[in-house]
Structure 1
């Protein structure tokens, strides 16, 4: 007889005083507060996830993989994570750059021009273009310079400038007052065409206010008033579609690189990026996802400590299981340098930089990564740091200049010379919430070009659906069948013709410990070779109550001779002191309401629970069965369907009761079922469709979702999917045919 595992996820909550109604309770299944326990009362599982949540101020070490093959695999998943998190998977349409360049002014050795262009319809990027002043016809390297917080025109006060001059942080009273423009001027003198573009809310980037992009704290009325037809940044609707200020700035950086590469005097094969602080964060991300960048100098943010404290440096999903040093490593083997200062980068020389050197030595050249210790200075991109950058770019952009390169002074630029919008070039009128809604609407329309989301699935785009939508869900959940799963029995007993084993399933690599109750025939063996794993949104006790009813689904499954395994998943049952499962995402201790400060660093409850189910599936498979059947009912569909999709052919039949659940109905990011990006990537129908071509029965839907039918048909597996009204005793006969 073919051996099967039935994995069942289901039902409601009810106390159970005893395992079987006709026998007394014993220590083997302690019942406290209506909850059947594996562990003694008051003791919770030894699970690493019960500790404090990760915050942007945590420790983010970089563990270098053992060999290049492992790194390349890791790098591919990390690049996908950056793109998914920033809302750029797949990349939105990049229309031709029709930039306006005007207002040229001349300085000694360089010129400055004003620039504006649309990165997307109706949204303008502004900045200043620095060019060498000589008339050489040779194409020149292009340098993109995201300025960081303070704006491109940020100027020291007299007192601040005096401090900088006294410390050696700056050398000139004139150009040193505006250090961000100083680096652009010097790069132009060195022969580089340099574009410094405005971050959102700074200088001439007026469409999204500074306070919204960088100082947003409390939930705005326009966020709570958002609907599925019109929404703004920071709203649940935006989060469910992975639309963020950080994502928009990342897209603006890509479009700025498009602009720079399109210039007739720029060598598109010699492009570099450098920015400090928040501009360093943008430099890290651009180097990670855009291989046109050949040299990088991301300063002030390559660190295993603080990861970026601004809204524009945080988005959901980005740094789960990773951090800025590893993200910076995605530049490898392309040349990259930075400095360490007396700030959150101070430990880089011993924690971060050695690991980068090791990686570069493994996949390229150890000399192509460099970190200069400048611990005598606070957080900066000062004259000394800039000198390090100039030398790095001279070498790796093949500028051929004599060393050392000494930055020169220049006459400061006036307000009029640096202001993009004027009487002839009017500022855009689409601003504020109206503009946010327009951007979000455009972004959503772009997402609808994905197969299965905005277009039908046929055989010719099935693989794209899987590689785009499926890969996105894999990134959002970050779940896979674990390699090492173990079971430790705590106690056992026989009662009512059944054998009960109470124990813990562990996944050591994840630090996971899951309480389970296993029910077998009295002999301790499975008469059918099947193991039934049954879970519920409220934990194992909600299922165990069925033992008191001889007509229940659980009783009938056991009567057939199947083994039943009932787990508590993360924050269910024995994870909770009162036994009541956590029904809201925990949030970090941060007064700011934005979801990304929590879910940019920590997995969602859905991710945790789907990964737990994968561990349970692996254990059930590990005990010897060669066929898996999964059933999900009673509110478990959000994570059980994901586990079934990820498990693939390890689960031969998945039976999912969705109860009509849709992520789109969630209006609070702390909801237990909230998953950033869930709506963008097709909601529950897409998850169910990703189960194809393996057997699927859908329950709880009025009709089988069209996407599910299309994907199974395209996979040549139309007969592998069906729908039923409910889960009842008749289903058992199907299991046992």
Structure 2
């Protein structure tokens, strides 16, 4: 590299110091033997918001409407993809025959009720009651889907004597059959000319085979069901595939919609959805996911406050940087009605509804959204139902005369409602049947991934759209813009051949910091290598602050090197001990979704740090000609690969050491490397394939790279992929030499 042109010392200093005043030349001593000298003073942690408290379901979730239709189009597309990834619905599972069974008709004066069994997956069922008008008008009829919500015994719910007496006294109900409020809404809608499907949430009364105690009462991890080859719901393995109860319930809603839309007498242009509480969650999730229903009425659930406390309302990624108000906004411009009560929704009329009205106005449908607070406890009582009837009467064009009033009816008994009998026996609620459902869904996911493995430039684009689209959600951040970061130098050392800087790179809008070492050779060749390791900068920097031999190889060739501590590495650790377990919110139930439904996984947060560093290096006003990324180790390699994919053309060469790691080997739900969805979307091989066509060097995979990687590079018409199968001891030096080749 002797003929490499040199740049003047002033340019070097400007690039590295960014005109920030240099701290006192007296260095800060390292805090532990064997550690690199610190960037920050001893006993000082980075001023990073991520070291503070975690967000949980009880936080505040305000929403700001988009400024324009075009901005909302882009935002809503991303939020919909985020929902689909979180719920295990990106791409949608294979729609297999529902094998619908409709039987056991019960006739009342002016309506009928039939029992319905839909097989929505291998061993997964959606069960419920189908209400019809007994003497319908000629022509096709409107339909309403009714997910019931968290009422004891679901479809079979009945107020006890004391509760119903209080309901009558408070005017929450006014007729004897109001004792059965879930049946009441279905009966009245049928009397208004609608076909109504009231269906079970998982674990409620006829749903099987996952029991209520697991679907809604899960509290402790089950080690015996947390193995790579034998895993149940809520385990690390199910998280790695984004298989969760809220996703299964959303899938049941979609399949229920498929089924009711297929009925010959249903007008598919007039389908409504309504549910309260957890049923309200299902209502707006279905509205966010599916464009087919025409109108939605989620009761007592949409708010800026508590977002849903049940395991069936939470999933990893579900509400990261979003919430229930925005989910409701996803329904627009289709009609949306809401009620609020003396619960977490009580402030709807002042927090949430004004923003939704602004949003609907922007979309040209100001009259299509309404909401009302009613001074009752959490409910779907008669006043709320009356509001819903008027809403659907208007928007489904039912032609009823207002005001609509309920009439008494003869309620159905449990025996008349249950779908299971001798001819149609209930599936056993057993672990083996739970595993059967999950195995079937996982096999379908694997088949979908296999079908996406690229074989041509066109199929590579599809792979990047689907698999890359999922990893984009899982990482949750793009490359920061040039104006988003600042550098603060804490210490510098000037040598004859080398300048070294200890700096903090601060991402301003996110309130995040990255303590970093910069080594800048005097013969800088306008290239920068960002080197990530499992332990942070101490892996590549000696006790005296000088670079280790592998780094020196790059410096001797004129390549500048940046070596950061990522979140919970090095200076992020008060006790210098690596995390044995990921952080979690203060919830006694061992469900990862309560944490990762609102906060990025640690893996993603570390990728964020790498993206910050790539942006800092790339957007220097002195315009480096190349920025390379090296990630060495089972932690750092995958992180560097994910960052390189997200950074796109901002990165030139990429060197990855995987250490043979696979996400599929994780068995602990709070493993710091847990990244929900990683197995579904191809694990490490699937991620490495996304790096194509960047020149890629890979170690830890032997001399034969995974097929999806070689096929992706072939599809990209690139041969710039190299497998290293030499000794572990020589791995770092080999990566550096490859980068220089």
TM-score grouping bracket, smaller chain normalisation:
over 0.9
- Does 2:564 correspond to 1:567? yes
Aligned-partner SS, 2:338: strand
Equivalence for 1:480: 478
Q: Distance in 2 between matches of 1:252 and 1:448?
A: 21
User: Is this contact kept in 2: 1:3–1:625, CA < 8 A?
Assistant: no
Question: 1:7 matched to which residue of 2?
Answer: none
With normalisation by structure 2, the TM-score equals 0.92
- What secondary structure is seen at the aligned counterpart in 2 of 1:564? strand
Distance 1:3 1:411 in 2: 92
Find the residue that maps to 1:656 and give its secondary structure: strand
Tell me if the contact between 2:25 and 2:492 (Cα under 8 Å) persists in the aligned partners: no
Query: Is 1:534–2:531 an aligned residue pair?
Result: yes
Structure 1 residues 556, 471: closer, same or farther in 2, change over 3 A?
A: same
Q: Distance in 2 between matches of 1:265 and 1:344?
A: 39
In the aligned structure 1, how far is the partner of 2:639 from the partner of 2:733?
24
Contact kept? 1:447, 1:454, Cα under 8 Å:
no
Q: Give the 3 Å change call, closer, same or farther, for CA 102–40 of structure 1 in structure 2.
A: same
Secondary structure, in 3 states, of the residue corresponding to 1:149? coil
**Any residues of structure 2 matched to 1:11-160 within 5 Å, and which?**
27-34=26-33, 35=35, 36-150=37-151, 151-160=154-163
The corresponding residue for 2:16 is: none
Q: Secondary structure at the match of 2:380?
A: coil
Does residue 727 in structure 1 map to residue 726 in structure 2? Answer: no
Equivalence for 1:9: none
Return the offset for 1:129. 0.5
Q: Equivalents in 2 of 1:339, 1:316: separation in Å?
A: 27
After superposition, the C-alpha distances for 1:216-243 in whole angstroms (9 at most, x for unaligned) are 112235424x332x32111211111111
Displacement of 1:2 after TM fit?
9.8
Cα distance, 1:277 vs structure 2: 0.4
Q: Does residue 186 of structure 1 match 2:184?
A: no
- Number of the residue aligned with 1:12: none
Are 1:393 and 2:392 counterparts? yes
SS at match of 1:261: helix
Are 1:462 and 1:711, in contact at CA under 8 Å, matched by a contact in 2? yes
Aligned length: 709
Cα contact 1:114–1:418 (8 A) shared by 2: yes
User: Are 2:113 and 2:129, in contact at CA under 8 Å, matched by a contact in 1?
Assistant: yes
User: Structure 1 pair 3/271, CA: closer, same or farther in 2 (3 Å)?
Assistant: farther
For the residues of structure 2 that align with 1:317 and 1:637, how far apart are their CA atoms? 23
**Counterpart of 1:341?**
341
**Cα pair 2:653 2:739 within 8 Å, conserved:** no
Q: How far 1:532 sits from its partner (Å)? A: 2.6
Shifted more, 330-339 versus 108-117: the winner is 108-117
| Alpha-carbon spacing, 1:677–1:550, altered in 2? closer, same or farther (3 Å) | closer
Unaligned runs of 5+ in 1: 5-24
Secondary structure of the residue aligned to 1:544 is coil
Gap change, CA 1:548 and 1:296, over 3 Å in 2: closer
Distance 1:135 1:323, change over 3 A: closer
Q: Distance in 2 between matches of 1:648 and 1:138?
A: 55
Q: Secondary structure at the match of 2:231?
A: coil
Query: What is the CA distance between 1:341 and its match in structure 2?
Result: 1.1
Cα deviation per residue 1:616-648 (whole Å; 9 max; x = unaligned)?
000000112132221111331121110011112
State the match for 1:671 in structure 2: 671
Cα deviation for residue 65 of structure 1 reads 2.0
The Cα shift of 1:549 comes to 8.0
Q: For the aligned residues, what is the CA RMSD?
A: 2.1
Q: CA separation in 1, counterparts of 2:65 and 2:546?
A: 55
Note the 1:177-576 alignment, pairs <5 A.
Answer: 177-220=179-222, 222-224=224-226, 226-228=227-229, 230-374=230-374, 376-429=375-428, 431-452=429-450, 457-483=455-481, 484-495=484-495, 497-521=497-521, 527-545=524-542, 552-576=549-573
SS, match of residue 448 in structure 1: helix
Equivalent position of 1:161 in the other structure: 164
Which residue does the alignment assign to 1:10?
none
Preserved CA contact (<8 Å) 1:33 1:578:
no
Check conservation: 2:551, 2:736, Cα contact below 8 A.
Answer: no
| CA shift in 2, pair 1:211/1:187, >3 Å | same
Q: Residues 551 and 163 from structure 1, CA distance in 2 versus in 1: closer, same or farther, beyond 3 angstroms?
A: closer
The answer to whether the Cα contact below 8 Å between 1:277 and 1:301 also exists between their aligned partners in 2 is: yes
Per-residue displacement from partner, 1:554-603 (whole Å, max 9, x unpaired)?
A: 22222233322221111212212123343421011111111111111111
Most deviating of 542-551 and 187-196: 542-551
Cα distance, 1:95 vs structure 2: 2.2
| Shift of residue 666, structure 1, vs aligned partner | 1.0
Is the 2:102–2:115 contact (alpha carbons within 8 Å) kept by the matching residues of 1?
yes
2:624 counterpart SS class: coil
Q: CA deviation at 1:312?
A: 0.9
Contact 1:28 1:493 in 2 (8 A): no
1:621 aligns with 2:623: no
Contact 1:2 1:529 in 2 (8 A): no
Question: Structure 1: how far apart are the matches of 2:420 and 2:352?
Answer: 42
Contact 2:271/2:293 (<8 A) preserved = yes
TM-superposition CA deviations, 1:263-308 (whole Å, max 9, x none) = 1211111111000001011101100001111100011111111111
Other-structure match for 2:630? 631
Q: Distance in 2 between matches of 1:2 and 1:734?
A: 18
In 2, Cα distance between equivalents of 1:3 and 1:108 = 93
Whether the 8 Å contact between 2:136 and 2:193 is mirrored in structure 1 is: no
Query: Equivalent residue of 2:514, what SS?
Result: strand
Provide the rounded CA distance (Å) in 2 between the counterparts of 1:642 and 1:97.
38
CA distance in 2, matches of 1:44, 1:387: 57
Q: CA deviation at 1:428?
A: 2.6
Give the superposition deviation at 1:733. Answer: 4.9
Residues 733 and 43 (structure 1), Cα distance of their counterparts in 2 relative to 1, 3 Å cut: closer
SS in 2 for 1:104: strand
SS in 1 for 2:541: helix
Aligned with 2:131: secondary structure? strand
Counterpart contact for 1:664–1:683, Cα < 8 Å = yes
- Aligned mates of 2:543, 2:655 — CA distance in 1: 19
In 2, the alpha carbon distance for the partners of 1:455 and 1:497 equals 48
TM-score scaled by length of structure 1: 0.92
Q: Is the 8 A contact 2:155 2:183 kept in 1?
A: yes
Q: Is the 8 A contact 1:3 1:626 kept in 2?
A: no
2:9 corresponds in structure 1 to none
Q: Check whether the contact 1:63–1:355 (CA below 8 A) recurs between aligned residues.
A: yes
Give the unaligned 5+ runs of structure 2. 7-23
Structure 2 distance, partners of 1:642, 1:620, is 17
- Determine the structure 1 residue equivalent to 2:19: none
Aligned-residue offset at 1:661: 1.0
Whole-Å separation in 1 of the counterparts to 2:440 and 2:165 = 47
In the alignment, the residues of structure 1 paired with residue 543 and residue 462 of structure 2 have an alpha-carbon distance, to the nearest angstrom, of 44
Q: In 1, distance between residues paired with 2:371 and 2:722?
A: 56
Query: 548-557 or 98-107: which moved more?
Result: 548-557
Structure 2 equivalent of residue 647 of structure 1: 647
1:496 positional shift: 6.6
For 1:550 and 1:341, the matched residues in 2 are separated by 63
Distance 1:257 1:314 in 2: 22
TM-superposed deviation, 1:166: 0.9
Contact 1:56-1:597 within 8 A present in 2 as well = yes
CA shift, 1:723, in A, is 4.0
Aligned to 2:505, the other structure's residue is in SS state: strand
Quick one: distance in 2 between partners of 1:87 and 1:729? Answer: 41
